Structure 1
Amino acid sequence: MTHFGPAIVPKDFPELKMLMWNRDCARPMPADEVFALYERNWRFVDRARLTAEETLLIAELTEEFGHGHMLV
């Protein structure tokens, strides 16, 4: 599991929060669901706005759930 834990609070990550436009971004989400959300919606992520912490989160999720690959 990532050092972020099994559940992730989307409001803590700016680009993830943006992807949560139709959900409660304060509700913790399972890490595998967060990875799937990033993967499905990567085209909407502004990579220039990713914080160092969010970049690390994405890298850890990609390693854990994508086996090192994000299908984007």
Structure 2
Amino acid sequence: MTATYGTTIVPADFPELTLLAWNRDVARPIPAEEAFELYERNWRFVDAEHLTPCEAKLIKELTNAFGNGVLLIS
């Protein structure tokens, strides 16, 4: 994980993550690893064609930091 995002992430800053975090306060920061788990567990709901460059970079960095470079999706 790079210093770009720190150890917490605000879901409201990322459109697809906002949708995945529908059941919580999206303005409240969550641990970076939890954000990674949300993406990985709910990838079927992510519209990958509409990821912003910033969110795509976040996903890549989270994957490298917490998934050993692999995002386990089906």
Is the TM-score greater than 0.5? yes
Name the amino acid aligned to 1:22.
N
Name the amino acid aligned to 1:66.
G
Q: CA RMSD, aligned part only?
A: 0.6
- Corresponding residue for residue 14 of structure 1: 15
- Corresponding residue for residue 66 of structure 1: 67
- Corresponding residue for residue 4 of structure 1: 5
* Distance in 1 (alpha carbons) for counterparts of 2:31 and 2:71: 17
Q: Where in structure 1 are there 5+ consecutive unaligned residues?
A: none
Name the amino acid aligned to 1:28.
P
Query: Per-residue CA shift, 1:3-36, capped at 9, x if unaligned?
Result: 2110000000000001111111000000000000
Number of residue-to-residue matches in the alignment: 72
* Distance in 2 (alpha carbons) for counterparts of 1:21 and 1:41: 12
Q: TM-score, normalised by structure 1?
A: 0.96
Q: TM-score, normalised by structure 2?
A: 0.94
CA displacement at 1:48 relative to structure 2: 1.1
CA displacement at 1:64 relative to structure 2: 0.4
Percent of aligned pairs sharing the same letter: 62
* Distance in 2 (alpha carbons) for counterparts of 1:70 and 1:13: 18
